[in-house]
Amino acid sequence: DNIVSKIDSLEKVLAPEIKRQQATYDSSCVNWEKEVERMREFATNRPAYQRLHLREIHYLPNVCKVILKSNIPDACTFDINTLTIDTSSWSGYYFPTIPITVTVKPKDGYEFVKWSEDHGNEKTITFDLPIDGNNETTLTIEALFDNNDSIDTNSRFTISPNPTRDKFNLELNLSTPKILELKCIDMTGKTIFTDNLHCSGGQNTFNFNLMNFKLAPGAYFVNLSYKGKYVYSTKIMFEK
């Protein structure tokens, strides 16, 4: 596919010049277009012929098409053996004589739960590929992620010390990874500062130092929101 896309991009670059040549010399583009199509056909068919040649030389069984995907688009990337896959959906061909190792790498805000087809919940798995004599086989491996867009009602938030002078700690316990927005506002509703908190599933601790803000003594609010919806708000007292 990569070679075909390169041919397509080069064709777009050269096509205007070919047309100018045709107009200048009263020639036809038909042969050029046929040759470009032959290149596409060669690039498309070559991998299959390469695999067939390897099978004949080394007496190998037919290949297995390995499909990697996730239940949530763009939730992760993969490593398969020494190859890094920068998307959450990919396929490739492997000879089933050697086990393969797959690692899922979740992106920020997503929690990996488990693999499909009883492959367990470890992020890195190694397994054998199916063999069916001279027939090509297919194996689909799907990474399953938590797709809950809300904050679990069992989530816990704690701020300490309270009252404080200029520092406080925020502790959160979430069931799944989330990116929360924190806002500290005064009693008039003015925003003092904001921050994005990249939280993992489980216990999280964030430390804040507001010394440079030179806050006046009094009450302030610390608000947390997720995707624009408030999930937690508490009052914090700052002293001299």
Which of these ranges, 51-55, 130-134, 136-140, has the smallest mean pLDDT? 130-134
Given a cut of 80, whether residue 154 has pLDDT beyond it is no
Kindly state the percentage of the chain with pLDDT values over 70.
Answer: 93
pLDDT of residue 212: 84
Q: Which pairing describes strands 83-85 and 76-80: parallel, antiparallel, or unpaired?
A: antiparallel
Which has the closest alpha carbon to 193: 205, 182, 202?
182
CA angle, corner 49, sides to 88 and 126, nearest 5? 40
User: Can 61-147 and 156-238 be said to share one CATH topology?
Assistant: yes
Scan for tokens 């010399």, then name that residue.
25
What's the confidence (pLDDT) of residue 139?
Answer: 93
What's the CATH fold of domain 156-238?
Immunoglobulin-like (2.60.40)
Residue corresponding to tokens 């896309």: 5
pLDDT in tens, 21-52: 777 777 766 688 888 999 999 998 898 899 88
Give the pLDDT of residue 225. Answer: 86
- What is the identity of the amino acid at 208? F
Amino acid identity of 41?
A: E
Let me know: does 32 contact 20? Beta carbons within 8 Å.
no
According to the model, what pLDDT value does residue 147 have?
Answer: 57
Mean pLDDT of 96-124: 86
Q: What is the mean pLDDT of residues 109-122?
A: 81
Going from N- to C-terminal start, the domains of the chain cover: 1-59, 61-147, 156-238
CATH topology of domain 61-147: Immunoglobulin-like (2.60.40)
Gyration radius of the chain's alpha carbons:
29
Q: Which two tokens stand for residue 90?
A: 């990919």
